[in-house]
Amino acid sequence: MNERPDNPSVIVFPPLPFAGTLIVGLLLHRLMPHPILPRSLAWSLGMLLIIASALIARSAQAAMRKAGTNVNPYKPSVAIVTEGPFRFSRNPLYLSLLEMYLGITFLFNALWPLLLVVPLLIVTHYGIIRREERYLEAKFGEPYRIYKARVRRWI
């Protein structure tokens, strides 16, 4: 009974590393503040990224629901989603999480979360995205490989 589960077996629920890393970065910022931009520019950029994040996330979730597949990576995928923001990115929900993370980072005008984004993206890449890609390729085969060749991982 060594059957593999019908899900990507990601190491953690995707929003958690983004939230945890952001919290650590903001705590470091509180202890050792290092602004990165003029306040008004940082605030404007932060708001722009947060709004873009919300729009992409909403559109991606709607496309997944329309395709009849699960948003939750612990549940089986039943379709390859190629509509909405999935036409431009294979991972629009992770892109929206990154935009939200960066938006909040700029709202706080904080260097530390910006520095922590590199290890965050490494964990996301190997612990979540690569596992999802292997799962989707094993489950959907050639149609997924064609989609993967046509659409970039991020943007």
Domain boundaries, the chain: 15-28+35-70+81-150
Predicted confidence pLDDT, tens digits, the chain (155 residues): 557 789 899 999 999 999 999 999 999 999 999 999 999 999 999 999 999 999 999 999 999 999 999 999 999 999 999 999 999 999 999 999 999 999 999 999 999 999 999 999 999 999 999 999 999 999 999 999 999 999 999 98
pLDDT at 2: 57
pLDDT at 72: 92
Burial class (CB in 10 A: 0-12, 13-18, 19+), 67: middle
Q: What are the two backbone dihedrals, phi and then psi, of residue 47, each rounded to the nearest 5 degrees?
A: -65, -40
Burial class (CB in 10 A: 0-12, 13-18, 19+), 64: buried
pLDDT at 3: 72
Return the structure tokens found at 47.
């708001």
pLDDT at 4: 76
